[in-house]
Amino acid sequence: MTERPARTSRLRIETDAEAMERDLSRLVLTLIELVRQLVERQCVRRMEQGDLSDEQIEVLGLTLMRLEDAMAEVCDRFGLSPADLNLDLGPLGTLLPQD
């Protein structure tokens, strides 16, 4: 019975701290954008069904506009464009719908 030699070196990934921060920011912002778009679609669906009062529609509209503006500001801060948030999932296509 032959013993395998112990591995003396481990695989290490060389990482750049700035690139890692940018990629993590991109992932978090992508998830936030996905949730924002889902909430927006839900609001539109409820509005079309007549489930919301005019006042609720006004408040939701303003809130969604402010959230979209805030997302644009944060993307600018990290040097990302909206297209950068649309992750390519290979054969499944992109994560976010194409507008």
**What are the pLDDT digits (tens) for 80-94?**
888 888 877 788 777
The total number of structural domains that make up the chain: 1
Q: Which two tokens stand for residue 94?
A: 């992109």
Supply the range of the domain harboring residue 67: 20-79
Q: How confident is the model at residue 20 (pLDDT cuts 50, 70, 90)?
A: confident
> Residue 16: left (phi > 0), alpha (psi -120 to 50), or beta?
beta
* pLDDT digit string, tens, across residues 28-65: 888 988 898 899 899 999 999 998 999 999 999 999 99
Q: Measured between alpha carbons, how far is 72 from 83 in angstroms, rounded to an integer?
A: 12
* Radius of gyration of the chain from its Cα atoms, rounded to whole angstroms: 21
Token look-up 């509005």 returns: 47
Residue 56 resides in a domain:
yes
Residue 38 resides in a domain:
yes
Residue 85 resides in a domain:
no
